[in-house]
Structure 1
Amino acid sequence: MKATNYLVAALLASTTLISPISAHAEGFFETRLDGVRTGFITRSWNDRNYDGYNTEITAANCLNNPHGSPGRVEFTLKKKIPVLPDHDLGTRTLNGCYREWDRGNWGRVSAGDYYAVVGTFDWNRLTINWLKVVY
């Protein structure tokens, strides 16, 4: 009887460690953008919408070149649509990343392939030292 209890406890513990926790995002990636211009396209990702988690982009430690130029960081979320123009899900402004960090939230989006387009001043080269996309 005791051996069976230990076996059941071990099986429960192993499945808890292996199974994903539904309260967390389905996926994420972190990267750095170095000297990008307006119109830069991030890597794409596939949101299967398994978890119902919001799509968010967080940016931290933003810098401009030329140094001291006014800051502007915008991200436009796009959904890839075969044959048709990609669907624009709106733009979020993340200018707080010049002080510390800032986050844009698009809410829950439908399943599909997504990417973000960077917006800044045309003459500016933008560096974002830490960028995290959660979906």
Structure 2
Amino acid sequence: MNRNYKMATVAAGIVAIAGLGIGPAFAEGDFTTEIKGWLPGKESRHWNDLNTDNASTTVKFSGCKAEDSGGTNRFEYAALQLKKERQSFPDPVVDRDNNHCNTSTFGDLSSGWYYFNYSGLNGTDTTSYHLSVNTVVVKY
């Protein structure tokens, strides 16, 4: 096979794949924020997932701490509940994860408005330690 034929075949394959919509899944939206001094029960910013892609919803924490009165970091993990908004009804918990200052993955969600709720620290839902996270990245 000559070189030009190979290049033409590769180019045709790329065009065919792009035309079929096959390729890597990119999140349709994302935002970056921080958490300062949260106690259990606090909820994140809400976002609208239009479900126009096949990307999983993720919440990534980095730079986590929950200090006691002496300044000792007591953070092991933060319990998160992913919730979906519903009009005139309580918002159901769609999924849960214990975030160990890493990425929580919640899968490809149906369209709707979502948020995460900080529901506990290190296995308890009552704590006097305030959660702080330097960087929170939500992709949906």
TM-score range (shorter-chain normalised) is 0.7 to 0.9
* TM-score (norm. length: structure 1): 0.76
Partner amino acid, structure 2, of 1:118 = Y
In the alignment, which of 65, 83, 89 is matched to residue 84 of structure 1? 89
Partner amino acid, structure 2, of 1:115 = Y
CA contact (8 A) 1:72 1:119 kept: no
In the alignment, which of 53, 70, 74 is matched to residue 69 of structure 1? 74
1:93 equivalent to 2:98? Answer: yes
* Aligned counterpart, 2:32: 30
1:109 equivalent to 2:103? Answer: no
**Which runs of 4 or more aligned residues in structure 1 lie more than 4 Å from their structure 2 counterparts after TM superposition?**
none
Deviation per CA, 1:95-123: give whole Å up to 9, x if none. 2x1xxxx1111101100000100133422
Q: Which sits farther off after the overlay, 118-127 or 77-86? A: 118-127
* Aligned counterpart, 1:124: 129
Q: How many aligned positions are there?
A: 110
What do you get for the CA RMSD once the two structures are aligned? 1.5
**Separation (CA, whole Å) in 2 of partners of 1:45 and 1:27:** 9
Using the TM superposition, give the Cα deviation of residue 60 of structure 1 relative to its aligned residue in structure 2, in angstroms: 0.5
Partner amino acid, structure 2, of 1:30 = T
Unaligned runs of 5+ in 2: 1-22, 122-126
In the alignment, which of 44, 47, 63 is matched to residue 45 of structure 1? 47
**Separation (CA, whole Å) in 2 of partners of 1:63 and 1:113:** 28
Unaligned runs of 5+ in 1: 1-20
